[in-house]
Amino acid sequence: MSRLQVITPNTAQMVIESLYRDLERRIVASPPGLCPVDMAASFLKLCHAQTCGKCVPCRVGLGQISQLLDDVLEGRADLETIGLIEKTALVVRDSADCAIGYEAANMVLKGIHGFGDDYIEHIEKHRCLYSLDQPVPCVALCPAKVDIPGYIALAAQGRYADAVRLIRKDNPFPTACALVCEHPCEARCRRNMIDTSINIRGLKRYVADHAGVVAVPACAPATGKRVAIIGGGPGGLSAAYYLALMGHTVEVYEKRSELGGMLRYGIPSYRLPRERLQEDIDAILSTGVTVHKNVEIGKDITLFELTQQFDCIYIAIGAHADKKIGIKGEESKGVVSAVELLRGIGDGVMPDFTGKDIVVVGGGNVAMDCTRSAKRLGAKSVTCVYRRRKEDMTALVEEVEGAIAEGCEMLCLQAPVEIESDEEGNAAALWVQPQIISSIGADGRPRPRQASLPMQRIPCDMVIVAIGQGIEIAPFEEYGVPVRRGVIDAMDSSGIENFSGIFAGGDCVTGPATAIRAIAAGKVAAANIDEYLGFHHDITVDVEIPAPRLDDRPPCGRVNLKERPANERQNDFEMMELGMTEEEAVQEAHRCLRCDHFGYGVFKGGRMNKW
């Protein structure tokens, strides 16, 4: 017998490890709409299997709760059962010796409080409140409900123009989204059950890059109805596009000199080249939409005047007002907001940062856009200052990593305290208070708290504040449009209560969000405005979707998009990301599991041919 031994995992242990990874991926691919009580019961079984068996509450209690959950699911329970589940779970939580027990109990309690109504439905009606409304996970999670399996199948066959036409049925920004969409569609891709999600945005980009100019469908016969759209961003233009296709006369009022909204004035061109954005805008305008640029509501024309001239109005003004940090010295020269900086860049006004030390405050995607733009504007150094940890940044991981690769600094766990300025009032340094990461908040994110360390001085020539945007709401509020917590108070239908004929959607209703959510809001508004005007037009497309292949789908790695080398791309505003090769696109498209057909898709909700 040796005194010590090197531990080598046995086969069973290795297989279990791989099963853990399978399960993790499987949970990722869990579709929305599953019975939460059933899922809670399943999770609890797993938790119970993890118990070491030493302590009573965990060894026995979790099993008993599990049995009670089964009683609820099988219709053997009464309302008192919920009380017994809760009481037992509380005891396990309070008396279990280790996290295996008390955290399992916490999961049960979360469920009882979070979906208690479903417990009651099971007990009283022997049925579940939930169901799979949209069984195709990518489509379910795309705010605009783009037919993703459809266009991937078309991409696999090289039918790129058809793919663009199919995308445009639900989203008139195929190119912009191909380049900058945050792709919520990929989150629960069923392919995760096998290996990794499909690179949906990458495939969309391949399609958009290779489709050429694709004509828009013909507009329906003119209805004689006139709709004004306030704001020429993704939301406003989406509504304009569909309303024009429905035969309505559409006029877009844009405050700035160019269309595109945040796609132009928020996203730098190294991510979305202007000429590529223009492809989408040109297609949208080819439906006959009239555009009035440089027109500000409340100044050049009032909302009241618009209501007199049009049958209906859609407010899609986005979120273009800057937010202040609220610290001393913020009014110093050289302190600019992200909105201001990116707006200038959007109009082609490129400030010269050569030789300057730049500090960016914030950790979101806009902060990254500013950070990386500053680098491209010639800054000597760019430092991104953030209150929490790098992993807590809301920016996409690839954006943060990209900025770092380009030589930008992430200075995390530092809270801005004061901006120091020189005698001439120019910003000279940002004073920050070091933080320590601390307890987890209700939103599940860890909060920072002040560390017992002295303040630090970060010398700089400019401070760019990127901590969020607000809504320029005054001219609408004055007219009486209801405002709640700084945003327009519109309904899910995008209508506004007691304001017949005025609709609103996108960032100005939800607060700053994503392009695809604004597009979805524009689509919703178009449908409901059409109904409001007394019509029931269908938006449809006559693209035949290829039949699914029966081939086996063995595990295969995901094709990720590459970028131009950091030391090259950091010097210009040219497109940064590289598209797939044909070989890569075909392989990636063939990975799609066609959930529109296989599984529930062939039965219900696999394809929405019109809306």
Partner 1 sequence: MVNLKIDSIDVCVEENTTILDAARSVGILIPSLCYLRGINEIGACRVCVVEIQGLERLVPACNNVVKEGMVVYTNSPKVRKARRTNVELLLSQHDCQCAACVKSGNCSLQKVANDLGILTLPYEKKVPETRWSRKFPLFRDAAKCIKCMRCIQICDKVQSLNVWDVEGTGSRTTVDVSFHRNIANADCSLCGQCITHCPTGALRERDDTQKVFDALADPDVITVVQVAPAVRTAWAEFLDIAPEQATEGRLAATLRRIGFDYVFDTNFAADLTIMEEGSELLEHIKNPKDFSFPMFTSCCPGWVRFLKSQYPEMTGHLSTAKSPQQMFGAIAKTYFAKLIGAEPSKIYCVSIMPCVAKKHECALPNMNDTGCERDVDVVITTRELIRMIRSEHISPQLLPEEAFDSPLGEYSGAGVIFGATGGVMEAALRTAYFLATGRNPYPDQFAFARIKEGWAEQEVELLGNTYKVAIASGLGNARALMEKISRGEEQYHFVEIMACPGGCAGGGGQPIHDGQELAVSRAKMLYALDQNSKIRFSHENPEIKWMYDNFLGAPLSHKAHELLHTDHFAWQMPQKEQVVRKNQL
The binding site for partner 1 (CB under 8 A) comprises: 33-35, 38-39, 73, 75, 121, 125-133, 143-145, 520, 523-524, 547, 550-552, 602-605, 608, 611
What is the nearest approach in angstroms of partner 1 to the Cβ of residue 451? 44
What is the nearest approach in angstroms of partner 1 to the Cβ of residue 519? 10
> Which one, 456 or 493, has the nearer CB to partner 1?
493
What is the nearest approach in angstroms of partner 1 to the Cβ of residue 105? 23
> Which one, 402 or 606, has the nearer CB to partner 1?
606
Closest of 246, 210, 254 to residue 228, by C-alpha? 254
12, burial (CB in 10 Å: exposed 0-12, middle 13-18, buried 19+): exposed
The pairing of strands 483-484 and 321-322 is unpaired
Q: Are 258 and 344 in contact (CB under 8 A)?
A: no
How far CA 188 is from CA of 26, 177, 396, 546, in Å, comes to 9, 19, 17, 23
Distance CA 378, CA 381 (A): 9
What is the nearest approach in angstroms of partner 1 to the Cβ of residue 529? 14
Distance CA 363, CA 139 (A): 29
> Which one, 309 or 609, has the nearer CB to partner 1?
609
What is the nearest approach in angstroms of partner 1 to the Cβ of residue 108? 18
Closest of 469, 405, 462, 459 to residue 432, by C-alpha? 459
> Which one, 168 or 255, has the nearer CB to partner 1?
168
- List, in order, residues 6 or more apart from 121 with CB less than 8 Å away: 127, 128, 129
> Which one, 166 or 410, has the nearer CB to partner 1?
166
Residue whose tokens read 């046995």: 10
Q: Where are the alpha helices (DSSP H) in 30-156?
A: 36-49, 56, 62-73, 79-95, 99-114, 116-125, 137-141, 148-156
> Which one, 40 or 400, has the nearer CB to partner 1?
40
Give the CA angle between residues 151, 157, 162 to the nearest 5°. Answer: 45
What is the nearest approach in angstroms of partner 1 to the Cβ of residue 536? 9
Residues facing 420 on adjacent strands: 429
> Which one, 128 or 566, has the nearer CB to partner 1?
128
- List, in order, residues 6 or more apart from 584 with CB less than 8 Å away: 559
> Which one, 34 or 214, has the nearer CB to partner 1?
34
What is the nearest approach in angstroms of partner 1 to the Cβ of residue 165? 18
What is the nearest approach in angstroms of partner 1 to the Cβ of residue 95? 31
Residue whose tokens read 């039949």: 547
What is the nearest approach in angstroms of partner 1 to the Cβ of residue 98? 30
> Which one, 331 or 531, has the nearer CB to partner 1?
531
Q: Strand locations in 106-261, DSSP E?
A: 226-230, 249-253
What is the nearest approach in angstroms of partner 1 to the Cβ of residue 601? 9
In one letter, which amino acid is 602? V
What is the nearest approach in angstroms of partner 1 to the Cβ of residue 516? 11
Which DSSP category does 495 fall into? E
> Which one, 129 or 566, has the nearer CB to partner 1?
129
Q: Are 305 and 433 in contact (CB under 8 A)?
A: no
What is the nearest approach in angstroms of partner 1 to the Cβ of residue 260? 22
- List, in order, residues 6 or more apart from 59 with CB less than 8 Å away: 51, 53
What is the nearest approach in angstroms of partner 1 to the Cβ of residue 603? 4
DSSP 296-340: -BTTTB-HHHHHHH-SEEEE-----EE-----BTTTSBTEEEHHH
> Which one, 191 or 271, has the nearer CB to partner 1?
191
> Which one, 541 or 608, has the nearer CB to partner 1?
608
> Which one, 94 or 133, has the nearer CB to partner 1?
133
> Which one, 497 or 551, has the nearer CB to partner 1?
551
Q: Give the 3-state DSSP-derived string for 520-586, with helices as H, strands as E and coil as C.
A: HHHHHHHHHHHHHCCCCCCCECCCCCCCCCCCCCCCCCCCCCEECCHHHHCCCCCCCEECCCHHHHH
Other Cβ atoms within 10 Å of 439 Cβ, number: 7
- 312 torsion bin: left (phi>0), alpha (psi -120 to 50), beta (else): beta
> Which one, 59 or 597, has the nearer CB to partner 1?
597
Distance CA 439, CA 71 (A): 36
Structure tokens at 24: 């993790």
SS3 68: helix
- 348 torsion bin: left (phi>0), alpha (psi -120 to 50), beta (else): left
What is the nearest approach in angstroms of partner 1 to the Cβ of residue 63? 19
- List, in order, residues 6 or more apart from 174 with CB less than 8 Å away: 164, 167, 168, 204, 207, 208, 211, 280
What is the nearest approach in angstroms of partner 1 to the Cβ of residue 35? 5
